[in-house]
Amino acid sequence: FSLMRRGISEERYTDGSKWRFLEHKGPVFAPAYEPLPEKVKFYYNGKPMKLSAPAEEVATFFAKMLDHEYTTKDIFRKNFYKDWRKEMTSEEKSIITDLKKCDFSEMNEYFKAQSEARKQMSKEEKQKIKEENERLLSEYGFCIMDNHRERIGNFRIEPPGLFRGRGDHPKMGMLKRRIRPEDVIINCSKDSKHPKPPPGTKWKEVRHDNKVTWLASWTENIQGSIKYIMLNPSSRIKGEKDWQKYETARRLKKCVDRIRTQYREDWKSKEMRIRQRAVALYFIDKLALRAGNEKEEGETADTVGCCSLRVEHIKLFPKMDEQEYVVEFDFLGKDSIRYYNKIPVEKRVFKNLQLFLENKQPEDDLFDRLNTSILNKHLQELMDGLTAKVFRTYNASITLQQQLKELTCDDSIPAKLLSYNRANRAVAILCNHQRAPPKTFEKSMQNLQTKIDEKQNQLSAARKQLKAAKANHKASHDDKSKKAVEVKRKAVQRIEEQLMKLQMQATDREENKQIALGTSKLNYLDPRISVAWCKKWGVPIEKIYNKTQREKFAWAIDMAEKEF
DNA sequence: TGGCCGACTTGTCCACAGATAC
DNA sequence: GTATCTGTGGACAAGTCGGCCA
């Protein structure tokens, strides 16, 4: 099962092929559209209007979103309206000329009532649905790749709906169309039992390409990009790749000093392009910024990474408070998450930045002689397999390791877990993994505090009882009273532990308010570091990784020792 | 060299199942 | 048993990066 045991021996395809045998049942399609009951009406200009099925379906997408803020946004409404009209009959088109006069509220209420009804379903009904889902999973959720039965990551095709990008997306509200079998390319091995398309339909194509890992693909209509059905992270093929990624980061560890010396040297280069490359690399290394590919303007939200930073995204302060040469970063990164940071840099970096800014407008590129392709080609020369993102992996993992070393002390398990989460948190902060504070945050904090208060009361009560028992024992000196003292002592101890655990939880939750740990844990932290830490400090692995995570990191759990 | 495309990884959010409290 | 809370998995968007082609 472990990669060590089966993986290394199976890392045998030197020709770039990913598998020899691949068999699966194909994807599961979204259920067909169910027209609204007669009584649920759409109104135009105050009058009920029966829509054709295609127009009605698209209207329901909008109706379902009525409570969301984005149905009030101009771009969303404009895009929706434009695509909706394409689904209307010519008669509908001539009647419906203004989105503002459309009333979807009855439809909206109908869907709310439906979801309420779903919640109110009896146990038996819920059980039936659950069983049906399990059946679907067991039939479509697995494939055979080489000699293993593997879990598929996403075997359902995305249902149609209205596209909602992240941040200020120019395409928000556009219709994401329904995917039919005729849109889907199937990939499997020739000698496998090929998946059957639904009755009366055909696949777009069935191919047998073992140089790729996907089982099915289709082109999505919003960006024109390809979507795939691939395996679950627990699969051999994903695990191996993941392991390789961390091995590359470990190779970087061995030569990172040399690379750092090199780019510091390059800050002095005569050539502008080399200076820019060196400063950018410094940011990627020090701040764990993403590479920053160019993006097509107007196609996506305006976000940047290191190489695509613009003049308007940084401010230079020769002096700020007590510090010299401070750079202030303020830009929207991946998923339109804001990156804001003020850091002091070396004088040479500062002078270079001043140079890069000369004679530029705010919307000009900071690194006008650099892009990710140039940067990665340079990195490739410094180390085989090195790219910009390896720095993120490396710095995340090394930070975890250092922080764990610094923070862990030989204390209770809850205290160790708090230390672990704090180390994890340091990484999340480095990688700028933020989250919106959960809607229920305040409340859940309050609940926890109430529990702590109760526990405290319990503790003082238990202490009183212990005191009384002791007094009693002093007076009587018999065995029975001695036992009573012991029992009470144990009770106090137990409650103290429980209280401490709760307090640790509260601290942890508070500190975690706006920080998301999941992404770094899943994608950046070499699991062998965590597994070794668990072994070293006697912490059960289940406290760190849940079931899914343990499956994903099975390779590391199997191979790690106390020291890593 | 630069643009485009394909494959694959990384990222946030949210519904909902199962746990826990009452 | 029901109400409430919380962690998990899934949905699906948005990155990275390499290869191909003109």
Q: What is the pLDDT of residues A428-451, one digit of tens each?
A: 999 998 887 777 777 778 877 888
Distance from residue A151's CA to nucleotide C12's C1', rounded to whole Å: 19
Q: What is the dihedral of CA A158, A162, A167, A170, to 10 degrees?
A: 120
The residue among A501 and A234 whose pLDDT is bigger is A234
Distance from residue A232's CA to nucleotide B17's C1', rounded to whole Å: 21
- pLDDT reported for residue A300: 92
Return d(Cα A210, Cα A200) in angstroms, integer: 28
- pLDDT reported for residue A386: 96
The answer, yes or no, to whether residue A12 has pLDDT greater than 80, is: no
Return d(Cα A162, Cα A180) in angstroms, integer: 17
The answer, yes or no, to whether residue A82 has pLDDT greater than 90, is: yes
Distance from residue A506's CA to nucleotide C3's C1', rounded to whole Å: 24
Whether the beta carbon of A464 falls within 7 A of nucleic chain B: the reply is: no
Question: Residue length, chain A?
Answer: 564
Three-state DSSP string of A486-535: HHHHHHHHHHHHHHHHHHHHHHHHHHCCCECCHHHHHHCCCHHHHHHHHH
- pLDDT reported for residue A560: 67
Nucleotide showing the shortest C1' distance to residue A445 CA? C5
Distance from residue A513's CA to nucleotide C4's C1', rounded to whole Å: 21
Burial bucket for residue A76 (CB in 10 Å: 0-12, 13-18, 19+): buried
Which residue from A96, A14, A23, A6 is spatially nearest to A55, judged by alpha carbons? A96
What is the Cα gyration radius of chain A?
Answer: 30
State phi, psi for A186 to the nearest 5 degrees. Answer: -100, 140
Whether the beta carbon of A419 falls within 7 A of nucleic chain B: the reply is: no
Dihedral sign, Cα of residue A89, residue A91, residue A97, residue A99: negative
Burial bucket for residue A392 (CB in 10 Å: 0-12, 13-18, 19+): buried
Whether the beta carbon of A236 falls within 7 A of nucleic chain B: the reply is: no
What distance lies between CA A282 and its chain's CA centroid?
26
Q: What is residue A178's three-state secondary structure? A: coil
What distance lies between CA A133 and its chain's CA centroid?
25
Nucleotide showing the shortest C1' distance to residue A245 CA? B9
Whether the beta carbon of A357 falls within 7 A of nucleic chain B: the reply is: no
The residue among A378 and A512 whose pLDDT is bigger is A378
- pLDDT reported for residue A11: 52
Nucleotide showing the shortest C1' distance to residue A336 CA? C14
Whether the beta carbon of A169 falls within 7 A of nucleic chain B: the reply is: no
The answer, yes or no, to whether residue A49 has pLDDT greater than 90, is: yes
Instruction: Express each pLDDT in A296-328 by its tens digit.
Output: 888 999 999 999 999 999 999 999 989 999 999
Nucleotide showing the shortest C1' distance to residue A547 CA? C8
- pLDDT reported for residue A121: 76
pLDDT tier at A44, thresholds 50, 70, 90: very high
Whether the beta carbon of A130 falls within 7 A of nucleic chain B: the reply is: yes
C-beta atoms surrounding A382 within 10 Å: 15
Query: Which of A156-165, A281-290, A485-494 comes out lowest in average pLDDT?
Result: A485-494
Distance from residue A438's CA to nucleotide B15's C1', rounded to whole Å: 14
The residue among A168 and A132 whose pLDDT is bigger is A168
Whether the beta carbon of A214 falls within 7 A of nucleic chain B: the reply is: yes
Whether the beta carbon of A294 falls within 7 A of nucleic chain B: the reply is: yes
Distance from residue A363's CA to nucleotide B3's C1', rounded to whole Å: 22
Whether the beta carbon of A192 falls within 7 A of nucleic chain B: the reply is: no
**Per-residue DSSP letter, A7:** I
- pLDDT reported for residue A297: 87
Distance from residue A554's CA to nucleotide C21's C1', rounded to whole Å: 42
The answer, yes or no, to whether residue A6 has pLDDT greater than 80, is: no
Distance from residue A67's CA to nucleotide B22's C1', rounded to whole Å: 32
Across A240-259, average pLDDT: 95
Whether the beta carbon of A433 falls within 7 A of nucleic chain B: the reply is: yes
Residue nearest to nucleotide C11 (CA to C1'): A158
State phi, psi for A278 to the nearest 5 degrees. Answer: -70, -40
Average pLDDT, chain A: 90
Burial bucket for residue A246 (CB in 10 Å: 0-12, 13-18, 19+): buried
Tokens 């009209």 label which residue?
Answer: A85
The answer, yes or no, to whether residue A423 has pLDDT greater than 70, is: yes
pLDDT tier at A5, thresholds 50, 70, 90: very low
Distance from residue A451's CA to nucleotide C15's C1', rounded to whole Å: 42
Nucleotide showing the shortest C1' distance to residue A137 CA? C10
Query: Which of A235-239, A474-478, A543-547 comes out lowest in average pLDDT?
Result: A474-478
Whether the beta carbon of A441 falls within 7 A of nucleic chain B: the reply is: no
- pLDDT reported for residue A153: 92
Protein-covered nucleotides on strand C (Cβ within 7 A): 5-19
- pLDDT reported for residue A444: 77
The answer, yes or no, to whether residue A357 has pLDDT greater than 50, is: yes
Whether the beta carbon of A523 falls within 7 A of nucleic chain B: the reply is: yes
pLDDT tier at A389, thresholds 50, 70, 90: very high
What distance lies between CA A380 and its chain's CA centroid?
27
Give me the catalytic one of A263, A325, A524, A545.
A524
Nucleotide showing the shortest C1' distance to residue A115 CA? B15
- pLDDT reported for residue A225: 93
Nucleotide showing the shortest C1' distance to residue A224 CA? B5
Return d(Cα A113, Cα A59) in angstroms, integer: 17
Annotated catalytic residue A524 = yes
Instruction: Express each pLDDT in A29-43 by its tens digit.
Output: 999 999 999 999 999
- pLDDT reported for residue A97: 95
Protein-covered nucleotides on strand B (Cβ within 7 A): 2-14, 16-18
The answer, yes or no, to whether residue A10 has pLDDT greater than 70, is: no
